[in-house]
Amino acid sequence: MIRMHDAALKDELLKHLEHMPPELQQRMLELSRAMARSAARGIPGKQLLRFSGTLSPDDARAMAELIEQGCERVDPDEW
The predicted-structure confidence for 13-53, as pLDDT tens digits, reads as follows: 999 999 999 999 999 999 999 888 877 677 888 888 998 88
Give the Cα-Cα-Cα angle 5, 7, 10 (nearest 5 degrees). 105
Task: Please state the domain extents for the chain.
Answer: 1-39
Most confident of 32-41, 50-59, 61-70: 50-59
C-beta separation of 4 from 12 below 8 A: yes
Helix (H) or strand (E) holding 17: helix 6-18
Would you state the pLDDT for residue 26? 94
